[in-house]
Homo-oligomer: A and B are copies of this chain.
Amino acid sequence: MTPRTGPRELDRRSTVPLWSQLRDDLMLRLEGGEFPDRFPGEMELVEVYRVSRHTVREALRRMRQDGLIESSRGRSSVAHPGVISQQLGAMYSLYQELEARGIEQRSELIVADRRTDAEAAERLGLSARTKLVYLERLRLGDDEPIAWDRAWLEPKLAAPLLKLDFTHTGLYDEWQRSAGVRLNGGHERISAVVPTKDQRTLLKMKRDEAAMLVERTGRLGDRPVEFRITLVRGSRFSFSAEWESGRSYQVDVAGAS
């Protein structure tokens, strides 16, 4: 029987750090479905890739940071199953949390076209006359409205999205699947507002219920590619954060109480 994995070559003359090459290779293999049950151990990687343990640990450290794997003493590393659930901001965590609670999510598409928008274009660093991909949706959880979402996307990257069906999947999942786009940074601004009458009707809100307005810019590398305004029902959304000296402010999104 041949060894399951022969030695693997990394390019030592490249300017790309070894740990980075190692990480890329591991991510590729992970996505390709290798390591279905067991992620290789550090010493194993040292032998296969012929690098020092420090280098392996540096690669694994980054992967851990991105939530791709999880490791702790005594146990070998565990590949994080399924989707890459890295830090994607508050909005993303909201939907994730709802899913974790077993709440069925879907969205109604209201508009999907190309149109110009001065403010959005400016946020994306494009000319005001550029036709942006525009998606307007109403998000529902267990058939109750949760949020009203409008997104303006970079037209070249988002073109494939106009033909898709978002009823049961998220924008980001589809975007990655159809165009390979995965955001890796951004900015969010969250404020409290009183919804207008129309908004209240759309979201089936009672009078005297407030809402959160989330303005969001998503970046791919250092280029903004998404501008998004989401109005979330106040009664179904709140920020929750833990802070501790010596640790960062860990935000968490809580659904309806």
Contacts and interface: CB of A to CB of B under 8 A. Distances in A.
A88 interface: yes
Interface string A15-26: 000001001100
A67 interface: yes
Contacts of A86: 245, 249
25 contacts: A62-B246, A65-B245, A65-B248, A87-B243, A88-B245, A89-B243, A89-B249, A185-B242, A186-B244, A187-B240, A187-B241, A187-B242, A188-B239, A188-B243, A189-B238, A190-B238, A191-B234, A191-B237, A191-B239, A192-B192, A192-B193, A192-B210, A192-B212, A210-B234, A249-B250
B245 A188 contact: no
A94 interface: no
Contacts of A242: 185-187
Interface in A40-93: 62, 65-67, 86-90
Closest 5 CB pairs of A and B: A192-B192, A191-B238, A192-B210, A192-B234, A248-B248
B243 A185 contact: yes
- How many copies of this chain are found per oligomer? 2
Interface string A209-220: 111100000000
A219 to B, nearest CB: 8
Nearest to A65: B246
Interface string A189-232: 11111100000000000001111100000000000000000000
Given A187-B242, A191-B234, A191-B239, 19 more contacts: A65-B65, A65-B245, A65-B248, A86-B245, A86-B249, A87-B244, A184-B244, A186-B242, A187-B241, A188-B239, A189-B254, A190-B238, A192-B212, A194-B210, A210-B211, A239-B239, A241-B251, A248-B248, A249-B249
A254 B191 CA distance: 10
A179 interface: no
Contacts of A241: 89-90, 187-190, 251
Given A189-B238, A242-B187, A251 B254 contact: no
Contacts of A89: 241, 243, 249
Contacts of A23: 246
A247 interface: yes
